[in-house]
Amino acid sequence: MKKNFTLFILTLFHICAFGQKPTQTIHGIITDQQTLQTLPGATVTISSPNYKNSVISDSAGKFTLTKIPVGRVAIQVQYIGYEPYSMPDFLVTSTKVPYLTISLSPGAIATDEVIISASKNAFEPLNELSVVSTRSFTAEETERMPAGINDPARAALSYPGVQRGQDDTENQIVVRGNSPIGILWRLEGVDIPNPNHFAIIGSSGGGVSVFSAQLIAKSDFSTGGFSAEYGNALSGAFDIRFRNGNFENRENRFKLSVLGMDFSTEGPIKKGRSSYLVNYRYSTLGLLSSMGIYLVGERVTNNFQDLSFNLTFRSKSGKSVQTVFGLGGLSEERYLPVSDPNKRIIGSANQWEDRVKPANMGAMGYTWTYLPDTRSYIKAVVAVMGSDIQRMSDTLDLQDQRFRFETQKYTDKRLVSSVTYQRKLTNKTVLKTGLIFNQIFFDFYKNTIPRTSVNDINQIQRKTSIQGSGQTQQLQQYVSLHHDISPKLSVNAGYHFLMLMTNKSTSLEPRVSLQLKPTANQRLSLAYGLHGRILPLMAYYFKDSLGNYPNLNLKMLKAHHGVLAYHLYTKSKMRFSAETYVQRLINVPIKPDATATYWMLNNSSDFPEFATVSKGKGLNYGLDLSLEKLFSNSYYFLVTGSLLKSTYSTLTGLSYNSRFNTGFSTSYTGGKEFPLKNGGILQLGMRYLLNGGFRYTPFDQTLSGIQGSFVPLENGDFSQQVPAYKRLDGRIAYRYNRKKLAGNISLDVQNILNRINATSISYNAATNSTKIEYRGSGFVPVLSFQFDF
């Protein structure tokens, strides 16, 4: 580690010593956010401490700015009848020629309000119908996030109301006390199930996202109060968009780090009209594991690789754009037993087990965006996607003979299509409607052996609890109407319809929101929505001893969600946000037994393996506060604090703490850049997470001792809480710019204080005792070298 750090510092000063400060060119296009029409005659101004220049967009809405000094620059766009646009922290490098697509929102702003109004743009979501609990993020934000591993899910841990899941090595996220089951992932307008390496069965998370930061364009993340177009989600939604490749120049990037290798290339297919963008990643974690270096956890090995691409084709008339996109990932995670049988602790199951977890996924799609007239657009998407997740777990005896105690396989293949139509009916009213259809082919299988201890596993009979194969369909349809009642007051109203053909269950969900702008720098918003969520498909296919499927007719999960939000923007590029929310959950699967307290959403990924009914309820409410400064004047920060309460009830109506009722969550994220000579930048960053610990149910020591297995304490469900979660991450990086070579050298350190947080509660049948398990990764330095050429 000391040698690597010394090399990092020497390389930094070596690069600083060479060359003159290079310049760059920026290309772009200005469009109307509501109709996607290009806007000729817009004024585009770019400035830095020692440079300022302006140009006017041409008849096709395009612009070009030349001889821009590398480093951070501010970009502003003004157009009569539209709100001004501001991008205060855009990074210009010597080897990458940016192509910007800037969308302007209709709405004239008085001259004395321009400065304040323009400062809000970078905070605002791309989807203007999302007026609460939504923020946009960029690929650069995920890259500069300390220990973010370029993963949107890990970057989201800095946002208000968001916490990490139970295991520190995974990217499952808990939003406002909800199970990670409720997260929606959407790519280019179609839903995509669990796009993660080391994917967790029945969940939305895994180890690390398959999405490459090299392809992600500015995208949205919502934590509630979804607009009408988002369905099949309860707690959060990632709306991911791929960027276009460079239409003018060929560019390449190579990145080498402790975690692996990453190569991307982009450029024109036909200059000015079409482009390609391709990225490939290969993990070297397996190589490190073979040398006895485990970054993820004790005796845990990981391997993954992925490929992503986006091809873009513009019509000569400018009326249509077509893209072909795709991503695919291969991964395998393995939990190894203690190598010496004589050193394995009796009753400590993980020391006797060899568990292999392969998870593969892929998706490829085609999009067509067409402008039939000057007031509307149509976007159609068709895609094929699939995932295959397996679990193979063996127990070893003293002679290392294997016995398979668990086999799982979950295959999900889909043909997905969607169509969106948006029309500006009047200058004050916009209609948006769409349809999403999924044809799903599935094959689920789970064969397990219930265990009391590792000593008698060979004497227990197998049990097939999940088994199902076939096909089904999922349909979503939505309508949303936006209307400006006055220059300061607007309303969004609509509905979302969701249907699953497996059991013909449906959900008709009204959505409405109001936004008041008392001044140019304030927003007061109120939103209500009914949100439906289809259960993980395998939850419907529990097979009882008679061969029946008692859960086949379970209802959809539903939640009434209300949000009141206030946002204040300042001239210094800061935003203060306060949101209070309440969420009433219904139709949660529970056992049809008045003495049982099972509630499906207490799990982060699992599903019932017994008969259940859709009669469980839940209640989440809380307050999210945040103070954020955009990256300007060479620094940024985001400070959040959340208070939350999450409870549930079953047939008796008694209220219990949910597993995710942590009580509070906070995050402190910030960074500072120091401009150096020749266009170089030294970057420092940190992130500190402090959250309440997850809850667990204590055991009944007497009954557990009699039965030889864990017996929960009666009426003690999730009454106990593990210690608070704490983690400090840091980042130091140097960005350099030469005429034909640019890039950065960075050192990201996860868990600087080497604090191992609680991950689970284990029961030892041999000693009839439980203990809090502290596992996962401790101090992890990740040194990386990036070259742009």
How is residue 135 written in tokens?
């923020």
Give yes or no for residue 777 having a pLDDT over 80.
no
Are the CB atoms for 584 and 601 separated by under 8 Å?
Answer: no
Q: What is the pLDDT of residue 120?
A: 57
Report whether 551 contacts 146 (CB < 8 A): no
79 and 168 share one domain? no
What is the pLDDT averaged over residues 523-546? 94
What's the CA gap between 117 and 111, in Å, rounded? 10
Q: What CATH number should be reported for the domain holding residue 46?
A: 2.60.40.1120
The pLDDT score that the predictor gives to residue 62 is 93
pLDDT over threshold 60, residue 552: yes
Regarding whether 194 and 108 lie in a shared domain, the answer is no
Sign of the four-CA dihedral 450, 454, 460, 461: positive
Per-residue pLDDT of 393-448, as tens digits, reads 998 888 888 888 899 999 999 999 999 999 999 999 999 999 999 999 999 999 88
| Of the candidates 621, 535, 556, the residue with the CA atom closest to the CA atom of residue 584 | 621
- Residue bearing the bigger pLDDT, 605 or 697: 697
Per-position DSSP letters for 744-765, written without gaps between them: EEEEEEE-TT-PPPEEEEEEET
Task: Decide: helix, strand or coil at residue 145.
Answer: coil
Q: Are residues 84 and 195 in the same domain?
A: no
pLDDT band for position 284 (50/70/90)? confident
The 10s digit of each residue's pLDDT in 435-448 is 999 999 999 999 88
For residue 338, being part of any structural domain is answered with yes
Q: In what order do the strands lie in the sheet with 51-56?
A: 51-56, 43-48, 71-78, 85-92
Distance CA 745, CA 767 (A): 50
- Mean pLDDT, to the nearest integer, of 118-143? 81
User: Residue 577's pLDDT is what?
Assistant: 96
How long is the chain?
789
Q: Using CA atoms, how far apart are residues 209 and 197, in angstroms rounded to an integer?
A: 6
Looking at the fold, whether 87 and 141 belong to one and the same domain comes out as: no
Residues 622-627 have a mean pLDDT of 97
Quote the pLDDT of residue 138.
Answer: 87
Using DSSP's 3-state secondary structure scheme, residue 37 falls into coil
Q: What is the pLDDT of residues 37-85, one digit of tens each?
A: 999 999 999 988 888 999 999 999 999 999 998 888 889 999 998 988 8
Same domain, residue pair 474 and 600: yes
Q: Which residue has better confidence, 355 or 291?
A: 355
Domain end (from 106, 126, 146): 126
**159, 640 contact by CB (below 8 A):** yes
pLDDT at 448: 84
Task: Return the structure tokens found at 267.
Answer: 């450029």
- Is 451 a residue whose pLDDT tops 80? no
Which residue from 21, 20, 71, 17 is spatially nearest to 49, judged by alpha carbons?
71
Mean pLDDT of the chain: 89
**Residue the block writes with tokens 């969106």:** 420
Residues 399, 512, single domain; the answer is: yes
Sequence-ordered list of residues with C-beta below 8 angstroms from that of 159, at least 6 positions apart, any chain: 135, 221, 223, 626, 638, 640, 667
List residues bridging with 611 in a β-sheet.
none
What confidence tens digit (pLDDT) does each residue in 651-706 have?
999 999 999 999 999 999 999 999 887 778 999 999 999 999 999 999 999 998 88
Residue among 650, 558, 549, 553 at smallest CA distance from 609: 549
| Cα–Cα distance for residue pair 360/542, rounded to 1 Å | 24
Work out whether strand 99-104 and strand 23-32 pair parallel, antiparallel, or are unpaired: parallel
| pLDDT of 773 higher than 90 | no
Which residue range forms the structural domain that includes residue 18? 2-126
Buried b (16+ CB within 10 A) or exposed e, 93-130: bbbbbbbbebbbebeebeeeebebbbbbbbbbbebbbb
Residue 1 and residue 7: Cα distance in Å, rounded?
10
| Residues 151 and 117 grouped into a single domain | no
Same domain, 598 and 652: yes
How many domains does the chain divide into? 2
Distance of alpha carbon 190 from alpha carbon 327, whole angstroms = 14
Whether the per-residue pLDDT at 112 is higher than 70: the answer is: no
Q: From 68, 101, 126, give the residue that closes a domain.
A: 126
pLDDT digits (tens, 9 = 90+) for 82-105: 988 888 788 899 999 998 989 998
Instruction: Please check whether residue 402 lies inside any domain of the structure.
Output: yes
CA 49 – CA 737 distance, rounded (Å): 18
CB atoms within 10 A of CB 322: 16
Q: How confident is the model at residue 106 (pLDDT cuts 50, 70, 90)?
A: confident
Share of the chain above pLDDT 90, in %: 65
Residues 6+ apart with CB under 8 A from 242: 187, 188, 215, 216, 217, 277, 308, 310, 323, 325
Q: Rounded to the nearest 5°, which phi and psi values hold at 94?
A: -80, -20
Measured distance CA(691)–CA(686) in Å, rounded: 17
Q: Output the domain CATH number for residue 509.
A: 2.40.170.20
Q: Is 703 exposed, middle or buried (0-12, 13-18, 19+ CB in 10 A)?
A: middle
Would you give the distance in Å from CA 461 to the centre of its chain? 40
- CB neighbourhood size of 284 (10 A): 15
pLDDT band at 639 (very low <50, low <70, confident <90, very high): very high
pLDDT at 462: 54
Q: What average pLDDT does this structure show over 771-783?
A: 84
pLDDT value at residue 534: 96
- Identify the pLDDT of residue 5: 47
Q: Which residues contact 49 (CB under 8 A, 6 or more apart)?
A: none
* 742 & 595 share domain: yes
Bigger pLDDT: 766 vs 393: 393
In a domain, 33, yes or no: yes
190-193: long-range pairs with CB below 8 Å, 24+: 190/365, 190/381, 190/383, 190/416, 190/417, 190/418, 190/436, 191/232, 191/416, 191/436, 191/438, 192/363, 192/385, 193/385, 193/387, 193/412, 193/414
Tokens of 474: 């999922």
Residues 120 and 149 in one domain: no
What percentage of the chain reaches a pLDDT higher than 70? 92
Which residues, in sequence order, are CB contacts of 32 under 8 Å at separation 6+? 38, 39, 82, 103, 104, 106
pLDDT tens digits for 288-340? Answer: 776 666 666 778 888 999 999 999 999 998 899 999 999 999 999 999 999 89
Are residues 393 and 483 both part of a single domain? yes
Strand partners, 527: 513, 563
* Range of lowest pLDDT (22-31, 102-111, 163-172, 504-513): 102-111
pLDDT at 459 (0 to 100): 40
Tokens 């206030």 sit at which residue? 566
Q: What is the mean pLDDT of residues 264-283?
A: 95
Cβ burial of 567 (10 Å; 0-12, 13-18, 19+) is buried
End-to-end CA distance of the chain: 28
- Domain endpoint, select from 76, 107, 126: 126
Query: Is 591 within the bounds of a domain?
Result: yes
Report yes or no on 185 lying in a domain: yes
Confidence band, pLDDT 50/70/90 cuts, at residue 119 = low
Q: Is residue 131 included in any domain, yes or no? A: no
- At 121 the pLDDT is 63
Q: Which amino acid is at 789?
A: F
Residues 145 and 108 in one domain: no
pLDDT of residue 354: 93
Per-residue pLDDT for 493 more than 80? yes
- CA distances to 276, 299, 709, 724, 777 from 755, rounded to whole Å, are 43, 18, 31, 11, 9
Round to whole Å and give the CA distance between 152 and 210. Answer: 10
How confident is the model at residue 15, as a pLDDT? Answer: 46
